[in-house]
Amino acid sequence: MSSILCHQARLTYNQVNAYLENPEDKSVPHSLTGNKDVKKSVDTLHQLYELLLKKREERHAMEFETVETYIKFNEKGGIEAILPRTRGDAQKLIEECMLLANTCAANFALKHELPVLYRNHDKPDGEKSMRIHEYAKNFGLSFPEENPTQADYQRIIEATKDRPDAISIHSMLLRSMMQANYAPDNIGHFGLAYDEYSHFTSPIRRYPDLMLHRAIKAKVTNTQQPVMDFFLKRLARKPQIPSAVPKKPHAM
């Protein structure tokens, strides 16, 4: 199965953010404001994002307070400043759509028992839970000694997000969690609060993504599945980059 992507407008995150903040903004390209089909697509996508955001909150999916930076260079190529990168709704809606694609792909693979690797994230063990239980006492907050839920983590995240040391606190919470990993058997993703999760799409292409693409393509085209069962578990055991619920979906 192949497809061709046709587009009617080439837009940047900043341009779409400007449009979402003020549809009458003169800096927004005419290819968006002057094309009713493009405008309708962006408006509909933003409405979908708002629904997905509500679902995220209902699941108690974790969202840690982190800061991403970028380097501003001067005319001579030297570093002029290191600045915080801001994320508007344009970036966030794409991230939510990527998460949705990943969960849909995982659900499809489970339904049809495809030979793929899932992106798993287990719940914290007793030792790590106890560590956060003691740590939370410093801020007058409660945290269970064992079997914490996503809501327990999110409660601390919300209670501390406006503190000047929020990044440090959230970093401690992040380190208390298990590492995400690849495995041929799905156990769900604790941090994102998903019953099933995979890496189907991401800015950083990984081999498990390609395995999933090939397996889905073989299924929908009714062709032979790629022969990869014999090394699924061995591939899943490759060293993982420490990550649980980083600030961007492509790193999850």
Do 211 and 107 lie in a common domain? yes
Token pair, residue 150, equals 């996503």
Do 247 and 183 lie in a common domain? yes
pLDDT digits (tens, 9 = 90+) for 166-224: 888 888 888 888 999 999 999 999 999 999 999 998 777 788 898 999 999 999 999 98
Give the integer Cα–Cα distance in Å for 182 and 106: 12
pLDDT in the model for residue 249:
45
pLDDT digits (tens, 9 = 90+) for 121-161: 999 988 989 999 998 998 888 999 999 999 999 999 999 88
pLDDT in the model for residue 113:
94
Range name among 95-104, 123-132, 225-234 with the lowest pLDDT average? 225-234
Contact 9, 35 (CB under 8 A): yes
pLDDT in the model for residue 246:
45
Tell whether the model's pLDDT for residue 230 goes beyond 90.
Answer: no
The chain-wide mean pLDDT, for the chain, equals: 87
Comparing CA positions, the residue from 171, 182, 168, 199 lying closest to residue 233 is 182
Do 146 and 212 lie in a common domain? no
Contact 85, 132 (CB under 8 A): no
Do 30 and 149 lie in a common domain? no
Do 187 and 245 lie in a common domain? yes
Strands (E), the chain: 69-73, 79-84, 118-120, 181-183
Token pair, residue 186, equals 């799905």
pLDDT digits (tens, 9 = 90+) for 32-84: 999 999 999 999 999 999 999 999 999 999 887 677 888 999 999 999 999 98
Do 99 and 64 lie in a common domain? yes
Do 44 and 95 lie in a common domain? no
Tell me the pLDDT band of 244, cut-offs 50, 70 and 90: very low
The answer as to whether 1 is a domain residue is no
Do 204 and 191 lie in a common domain? yes
pLDDT in the model for residue 242:
40
- State the total domains in the chain: 3
Token pair, residue 31, equals 């290819």
pLDDT digits (tens, 9 = 90+) for 8-31: 899 999 999 999 999 999 999 999
Domain range for 140: 126-175
* Residue whose token pair is 């209902």: 58
Do 105 and 183 lie in a common domain? yes
